[in-house]
Chains A and B, each alone.
Chain A
Amino acid sequence: MTQHLLGTTGAREGAVGFLTDTTLCIGCKACEVACKQWNQLPADGLELLGRSYDNTGDLGATTWRHVAFVEQISDSQGRRPSDLKAFQSNWLMLSDVCKHCVNAGCMEACPTGAIIRTEFDTVLIQPDICNGCGYCVPACPFGVPDFNHHDGRVFKCTLCYDRLVDNLEPACAKACPTDSIRFGPIQDLMERAVERVESLKAQGVEGARIYGDRALGGTGGMDGLNALFVLTAPPEVYNLPATPRLPQRQTFRAFASTLAFALGLGLAAAIALRGER
């Protein structure tokens, strides 16, 4: 059904973004560190989460890259398998980031116009406008924008807007030692992703897929993501939604049903309240 949408995106001409190829990620977290350094983000404290090598936990107001570690070594009963696939020893790593959606839920929700689409077609929260209403936080289908309770505003990845204007690639892509994170025009990145998935499948990685095209990840009115991923397992394994929807597609319908109901309720009220002059 969604076959014809595979590898397609509604990204506008000249849009730039990321391609994060999880098959090349070695879990070094250089992207996390480079992001923190360039954007001068404070540390989140030292906590051991017991989630493999992931002690970062989640994308947040002060964490704009997050490397997820999935150990698919035991089966569902916790038994160690006798034969492991050679590929990646079934240890999956993914450097998660803001998806800079082609149609972004956070941006449509923002009541102050603080969230804008930049000249690079990235999604940016202007910190001098944001008043911390927090509506973009639940409006993101990927859980990216986060409320900073010390600061009172919401923050997320800027796709290093301040580097892009100086013709530099984002800090995470620059720091990635295996080029698992690539930066460039979306059309080029999508071509590369399609080739990569084909090549992986030819090598026997049947689960290889693109996340962020109009078939997977960039669904439901979002028309594609400007941060693409190459995955080797279902997106849920990496804590990504398979077919998320743009929340604001509901707005008009929801208002229409509310209005229709209001008319009925008004009529009922008139009947209940009517009386003689």
Chain B
Amino acid sequence: MKSYYGAPLIHKPHWQWLIIVYFFLGGLSSACYVIASIARLVGGQAGRPITRVGHYMALLTLIPSPVLLILDLGRPERFLNMLRVIKLRSPMSLGTWGLIVYGGFVTLSAAIQAAEDGLLHRFGWLARLLRALPAATLGALGTLPGFFVGGYTGVLLAATAVPLWAKNALLLGPLFLASALSSGAATITLVLALARGTSGATLRRLERLDVLALLCEFALLAAAYRNLGPIIGRPLRRGKQARLLRWGVLALGIALPLALQIKSFWPYAQISRLGALLASSLALLGGFALRYTIVMAGRNSADDPEATFVFTQKSE
């Protein structure tokens, strides 16, 4: 198709490293929280360390998130303008509010966890108050904003004119969610595998969860790749992003951790700490590589007028 001197039709966003790191950390935090809350509800004895580490890590990885988002603004001092309005069709507006609600749940749950762990003994009355709160119910309620923070970033990309993102409007949210869940499970595994006295039963549960998340991620990624077709999918088929997708995301980030962790479904298999460490590190790298690839490939796709033409051609 003939284009205008190959010039881009649409403008690409300025988002780069800060936003990619936020997409990774925000998703990771939300998944840590969701896993912690679910483990508190159904995990029993083996779930306790998961709940503890999950709640702490959710808070720890959430703290840099608003900082990254504010630094990425062209006028960081005006970040409060985000709170002037709420717009239901703008994923960024919803995301701002969702992040605030989620932040409240994360802080409260981490504080309750700290009180239960005896870390707040200096503030006796506060610790007693926190311990009196219904932690499991709060955690269960918080899974909703948790899942929201994990998935809205995909919707945010989908609700643009960038062909590579918009073409996969229904898949990007679930893809980011699945990848976040894998990163969250990997984070908790990593911390617990490094800690002393972690039981094999606990690690086994986390590895199973990571396997499920990685399988979902792979299926969604394959569906999204197919759905893009040869023109719109060009940035993921040739060049730097394609190589990163193939080796960074698929081989190192999904296939290898899957191979290392699949035995966790076999009830008598030994779960080794070293294997867990390796698998979770790889899954984390893969989760980051996925965010990087999707954001950067979208920027490339915005620069490709042919992709826009294919995306907006007449359907007659």
Contact = CB atoms under 8 A, between A and B. Distances in A.
B160 A138 contact: yes
Given A129-B84, A254-B155, A241 B75 contact: no
A270 B38 contact: yes
A266 B147 contact: yes
Contacts, number: 266
B10 interface: yes
A111 B174 CA distance: 23
Interface string B293-316: 000001000100100110111111
Given A131-B75, A269-B209, A237 B159 contact: no
Nearest to B180: A265
B161 A261 contact: no
B61 interface: no
Interface in B210-229: 212-213, 216
Contacts of A138: 10-13, 160-162, 298, 302
Contact of B159 (A242, A248, A268): A248
Contacts of A261: 151, 173-174, 177-178
Nearest to A146: B11
Contacts of A50: 5
Nearest to A133: B73
Interface stretch (B89-97, B102-110, B130-138, B279-287): B89-97
B142 interface: no
B290 to A, nearest CB: 16
Interface residues of B, number: 88
A185 interface: no
Contacts of B272: none
Contacts of A2: 316
Contact of A133 (B42, B92, B159, B314): B92
Given A58-B7, A241-B308, A270 B313 contact: no
Interface in A209-268: 236-245, 247-248, 250-255, 257-259, 261-262, 265-266, 268
The 10 lowest CB-CB distance pairs between A and B, nearest first, are: A132-B74, A152-B74, A258-B173, A239-B4, A131-B78, A241-B312, A275-B44, A261-B174, A111-B93, A262-B147
Given A143-B9, A255-B155, 7 more contacts: A131-B78, A134-B13, A239-B3, A248-B90, A250-B169, A274-B44, A275-B44
